[in-house]
């Protein structure tokens, strides 16, 4: 949409003012996102929902609105959906797509990576707080908006299918990633996800989906809540570890820069210990495997998308999905090599808290 059309969307929402300035945010991979500014200061978030990724918009927005009333506390920043003037949760414009408006959290920043234990510790704390606040939410009201989102066996099948149909050029370009993926295809995860406690999870807890205070290291809340739905705490643990404990960007090309920081891992787990009664014994026992499971799953997804011609993730350059897959799969290798260390830290920090 052009600037005039974007301006025109404002009149359909219950905004306290009008004639907001608009500035595009380009860091997201899924939605088109804009800031609504008053005198240059952000006040709201305007998003065009990617209906190719999230075709069931009513379910998506329903999950969000089931969760948001619970996600409010003195130590957790509340976010609201701004309804349309006819009381809807989003605006369906037809050809121009579906749009929504959310409140902006002032004084907040995000981090793509960190080297600071304080940030890692706060990330663990706020993720645990998120789960604590949602533990009494009615789980039967939440819909699986992305069925099989973290089903590793499904992602393996999709990967194999993409490989069978990929061009010889893309297979040749992905040779190193295919070698690493092949090593993990039969990795012996010692649990069945279906037997672990079910929770309402964020399901995308990478570090830049956490808002921090711009004046310090305090974590404020989680954002990008589209994937809130039933899942396992291992998903949120593993997604956080892959972006907090690895100090390199998700699409880092220099693989020797991809590290597993023991200092950051320990700090992150210390943050999780702020809610000592939250986790069950079975979750604590298998948490370290989440740090392998999630980067492996996301690495396969990025590699599948590359082999398929970049049809899911937005890419800034031709090989970005391949770079993502190599980075993620390499971190899965690093995490697998730290399994005994992760068990030791988790047992020490959380072993007595599992209920």
C-alpha count within 13 angstroms, C-beta hemisphere, residue 112 = 7
Helix (H, G, I), strand (E, B) or coil at 333: helix
Confidence of residue 311 (pLDDT cuts 50, 70, 90): confident
pLDDT at residue 353 above 60?
no
- What band does 72 get if pLDDT is binned at 50, 70 and 90? very high
Which part of the chain is CATH 3.90.1200.10? 117-350
Angle at the Cα of 299 (from 293 to 300), degrees rounded to 5? 90
Q: Which of 153, 345, 322 minimizes the C-alpha distance to 261?
A: 345
pLDDT at 4: 75
Beta-strand (E) ranges in the chain?
A: 21-25, 32-38, 41-49, 81-82, 91-92, 98-103, 108-109, 199-201, 210-213, 219-222, 229-231
User: What CATH class does 3-106 carry?
Assistant: alpha beta
Alpha-carbon distance of 263 to 269, in angstroms, equals 10
State the pTM of this model.
0.93
Pick the CATH number of 117-350 from 3.90.1300.10, 3.30.750.24, 3.60.15.10, 3.90.1200.10: 3.90.1200.10
pLDDT tens string 138-188: 999 999 999 999 999 999 999 999 999 999 999 999 999 999 999 999 999
Q: Is residue 203 scored above 70 in pLDDT?
A: yes
Single out the residue of 206, 234, 245 nearest to residue 337, CA to CA: 245
Q: What integer is the mean pLDDT of 329-338?
A: 97
54 in Cβ contact with 145 (< 8 Å): yes
pLDDT at 279 over 90: yes
Q: Which of 43, 41, 46, 37 is nearest to 12 (CA)?
A: 46
Yes or no: say if 142 and 230 are a contact pair by the CB < 8 Å rule. yes
Instruction: Assess contact for 59 and 143: CB atoms under 8 A.
Output: yes
Residue 352 has pLDDT above 70, yes or no: no
**Which pLDDT belongs to residue 330?**
96
Range 33-49 average pLDDT: 93
Among 98-102, 129-133, 274-278, which is the least confidently predicted range?
A: 274-278
Q: How far is residue 355's CA from residue 347's CA, in Å, rounded to a whole number? A: 13
Decide which of 276 and 262 is more confident: 262
Task: Return the closest-CA partner of residue 202 out of 235, 155, 238.
Answer: 235
Mean pLDDT over 224-230 rounds to 95
How large is the average pLDDT for residues 220-225? 96
pLDDT of residue 277: 87
Q: What pLDDT does 5 receive?
A: 78
Match 């290798």 to its residue by tokens: 333
Q: Strand, coil or helix: what is 201?
A: strand
- 213-239 average pLDDT score: 96
Average the pLDDT over 262-278 and give the result: 94
What mean pLDDT is predicted for residues 237-252?
92
Contacts of residue 248, Cβ cutoff 8 Å, sequence gap at least 6: 113, 254, 257, 258, 259, 327
Cβ pair 268, 244 in contact under 8 A? yes
pLDDT given at position 38: 92
Categorize the per-residue pLDDT at 355 as very low, low, confident or very high, splitting at 50, 70 and 90. low
Q: Is the model's pLDDT at 29 over the cut of 90?
A: no
Rounded CA gap, 41 and 39, in Å?
A: 6
Tokens of 326: 């190599």
Higher pLDDT, 315 or 14: 14
pLDDT in tens, 104-127: 999 999 999 999 999 999 999 999
Can you give the pLDDT at residue 212?
98
Residue 251's pLDDT is 82
Residue pLDDT, tens place only, 336-347: 999 999 999 999
Q: Could you give the residue range(s) of every CATH 3.30.200.20 domain in the chain?
A: 3-106
Greatest mean pLDDT among 135-139, 246-250, 265-269, 273-277: 265-269
Percent of the residues in the chain that have a pLDDT greater than 70, as a whole number: 97
Average pLDDT in the 212-235 region?
96
In the predicted model, what is the mean pLDDT of residues 262-267?
98
């Amino acid at each position: 949409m052009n600037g005039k059309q974007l301006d025109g969307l404002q009149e359909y929402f219950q905004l306290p003012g009008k004639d907001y300035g608009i500035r595009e945010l380009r860091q997201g991979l899924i939605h088109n996102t804009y800031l609504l500014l008053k005198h240059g200061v952000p006040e709201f978030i305007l998003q065009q929902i990617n209906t190719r990724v999230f075709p069931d918009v009513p379910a998506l927005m329903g999950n969000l609105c089931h969760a948001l009333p619970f996600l409010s506390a003195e130590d957790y920043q509340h976010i609201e959906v701004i309804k349309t003037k006819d009381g809807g949760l989003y605006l369906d414009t037809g050809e121009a797509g579906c749009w929504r408006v959310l409140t902006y959290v002032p004084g907040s920043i995000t981090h793509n990576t960190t080297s600071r234990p304080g940030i890692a510790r706060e990330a663990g704390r706020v993720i645990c707080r998120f789960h604590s606040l949602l533990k009494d939410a009615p789980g039967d009201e939440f819909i699986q908006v992305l069925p099989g989102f973290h089903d590793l066996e499904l992602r393996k099948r999709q990967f194999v299918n993409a490989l069978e149909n990929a061009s010889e050029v893309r297979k040749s370009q992905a040779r190193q990633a295919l070698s690493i993926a092949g090593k993990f295809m039969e990795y012996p995860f010692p649990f069945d996800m279906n037997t672990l406690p079910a929770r309402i999870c964020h399901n995308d807890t990478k570090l830049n989906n956490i808002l921090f205070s711009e004046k310090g290291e305090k974590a404020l809340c989680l954002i990008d809540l589209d994937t809130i739905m039933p899942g396992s705490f291992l998903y949120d643990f593993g997604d956080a570890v892959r972006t907090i404990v690895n100090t390199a960007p998700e699409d880092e090309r220099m693989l020797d820069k991809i590290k597993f920081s023991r200092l950051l891992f320990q700090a992150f787990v210390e943050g999780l210990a702020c809610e000592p009664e939250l986790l069950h014994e079975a979750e604590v026992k298998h948490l370290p495997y989440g740090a392998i499971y999630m980067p492996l799953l996301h690495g396969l997804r990025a590699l599948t998308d590359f082999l398929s011609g970049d049809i899911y993730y937005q890419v800034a350059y031709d090989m970005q999905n391949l770079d993502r897959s190599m980075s993620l799969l390499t971190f899965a290798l690093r995490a697998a090599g730290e399994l005994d260390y992760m068990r030791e830290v988790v047992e020490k920090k959380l072993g007595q808290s599992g209920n």
